[in-house]
Amino acid sequence: MAVPSGTVLGMADSLDVDAMIQRFRDRAQAVRSRPLPPVAGEERLRFIRQAETDFQDFAIISDAEATVEDGVLVLRIDLRPPDSGS
């Protein structure tokens, strides 16, 4: 679906990237503290795997340094181990 070019620039001007990153932190925490539903067996395992994937995705984005450069949202995420000397 094509987005009119003016819409992108308007969104870039009004996007609060710090608030967006905070929402991802909140989502990661919500997934981490989400109780398991009363399911068993394979359904339970699927739920747990999905929660792990959701947490990982939200946590990665929540660690990003976000900037808007020429109307493009840029997320810089350092995937190096903490002890890599960076």
Where do the structural domains in the chain lie, given as residue ranges?
10-76
- Parallel/antiparallel/unpaired status of strands 65-69 and 72-76: antiparallel
Residue 6 confidence (pLDDT) above 70: no
φ and ψ at 30, to 5 degrees?
Answer: -65, -40
Q: What confidence tens digit (pLDDT) does each residue in 36-86 have?
A: 888 899 999 999 999 999 999 999 999 999 998 988 999 999 988 888 665
pTM of the predicted protein model: 0.69
**Coil/strand/helix, residue 34:** coil
Phi, psi for 68 (deg, rounded to 5): -115, 120
Which neighbouring-strand residues pair with 66? 75
Nearest CA-CA partner of 8 in 59, 61, 56, 70: 70
Query: Residue holding tokens 């747990």?
Result: 48
